[in-house]
Amino acid sequence: MIVEDDGKQRPWPVVVVRWGKKVLGYVNECPHNSVRLDWEQNEFLDPYRIRLMCGKHGSTFELGSGRCVEGPCQGRALTPIALAVLEGDICVVGVHLVEDDASTIE
């Protein structure tokens, strides 16, 4: 869950990709119809396992850039999210997550 500027919370599905030595993150939302990419839970890759793929209409996206290279949303891109690897943990940065609030509650 993400916390908006007005304090409202909403689900924020993301997909994290390990691409070579890089770790990249994208909002799990297809730019074509705003649906989640995974048609089955945790299934994000095309049959060749070289691109992310939307299960609804089959658009495929470069792992390194999130750019759609084939399908109905060709030329558009997934929304990137900022990640940092801190002591081996992958952390989302620059947003306010509900978990941030939970960590301050005893």
Q: Which residues here bind ligand FES, judged by CB under 6 A?
A: 30, 32-33, 35, 54, 56-57, 59, 71-73
Sheet holding 22-27, edge to edge: 14-19, 22-27, 80-81
Whichever of 56 and 67 has its CB closer to ligand FES, that residue is: 56
Whichever of 3 and 77 has its CB closer to ligand FES, that residue is: 77
Whichever of 56 and 96 has its CB closer to ligand FES, that residue is: 56
Shortest separation between residue 22's beta carbon and ligand FES, angstroms: 24
